[in-house]
Structure 1
Amino acid sequence: MINVIHKFTAMRQRPKQAMLFLLLMMAGQQAYAQCRVNTTRPQDIIMNVGRVLITPNTKVGDILATGKFDIRRDDNISCSGNSTLYGRILQGGPSSISDKIWTTNVPGVGLRLYRQIGTQEGAYYPHEIYRNGRVYLAEGYFVVEVIKIAQNTGTGSLAPGQYSSYYADGTGPSRPILISHVLANSITIVTSSCSVDAGSKNKVINLSTVATAAFKGVGSTAAEQDFSININCVGGRGRNCYLAAQGKGW
């Protein structure tokens, strides 16, 4: 009778042991499911945007300049099962207006970075992308937007260095497939204290006809006509500038 009880107990425990074995196998497969970058030479995007002007009428959140740079397709990633790709920003921190717009060393100026495939905006940095199966770096564009993030802004060049990294979970941040850099003076912020009023732009000045006899010699002028241009400066004050339009002989 005792032997029968032992056999019955063993039969009841076997399904539990089998289930535990399957769970351990599945956990092991998930632990090893990852992507690996198979190159030590990532694509390096040099974010050369140039001179960026901030005028008094620029609002917080406005895009000051945009740079768009080619990304080549890269198949140097091998994946098995579920995996994660990471896009990280390495300079500054999240701004007060968006966690996708990061601060820079220039006060009041931030950057937004993202990858674009065709006409579709891709992942905004920082991000994590989960994939199952084959993965590759798609052909497209790396986009950098320079954005005003505060009312008061500074001037100067963005600090040179690496600004972003895109890497896989298997090989980690030490082996990225795509990175970006700012070189010395490749993005320079210039803040203007004044701007020309909209009503003064493209102003047409009608000049009267001037006879040749009105000119006294080379370099002389005749029939000057004044006109005003309204310039708005920081502080809410406007200034009137008077320019002289000079007639040309016929």
Structure 2
Amino acid sequence: DAGGVLNIGSCVSNAHIHGAAIKVAGIFAGRPLRGNYEEISDYILSRVGACGVAWGAMSQKAASIATGFNRLGVPAVVGPHGAKYRRAFMGRPDIKEDWTLIDATDGSKVYVEPGPQDLLVACETVEEAMPMMAKLCIRPSDTDRGRSIKLTHYIDLSQKYLNAYPPDWHLFVRTASDLPIATRNALLKKLEDEQGWKIDWKTKKIVEGPIRAYNPSFNPTNLERLIRRKK
């Protein structure tokens, strides 16, 4: 009701945010919590669309809080002062091997879009940070409706604060239903003209171009022990 931003108190109250992410895995997915940090963080990294922000003067305590979120599988955006610690966890979308996940349903390996691309990244300005936060909420297990909402935020915030389309928005499109409803036709046209994708305009479906097709039963994980049945 208040716009999705909640002040929970002083910095030591960050444990409540960690707990909220852990409860998603514990309550909604029924994952056991005791002695199971690895599986919980793997679940959050692949499924929970959360992103932390540590802006302003970067104390050692603030830096450790951001790192604590990273350990749990939650990306964090820090301000320009965060660069003084000379540490960042940034991904390389051009390295295909870095973006291969296991489908726990059958053990197959799936090349996925870079989401989240970074775990700890510094932004120089608030205008740069706003679309970055939206981008880091994208997850491989997003439904098409969820991905559509996230892409809407990513593109709209980039246009509002940077006056441009994000240079990598097409990487996160798996199917036409991933695209924002209001601008779907225009975005399909951009994909065809700028990225060389093949579009069936009669059915308004993407024929060729995405990194992978949308699979609603995709069960992503990085842990081989969670494979239910190998092929």
TM-score by length of 1: 0.19
Higher helix share: 2
Higher relative contact order, chain-length normalized (CA < 8 Å, sep 6+): 1
| Structure number with larger C-alpha Rg | 1
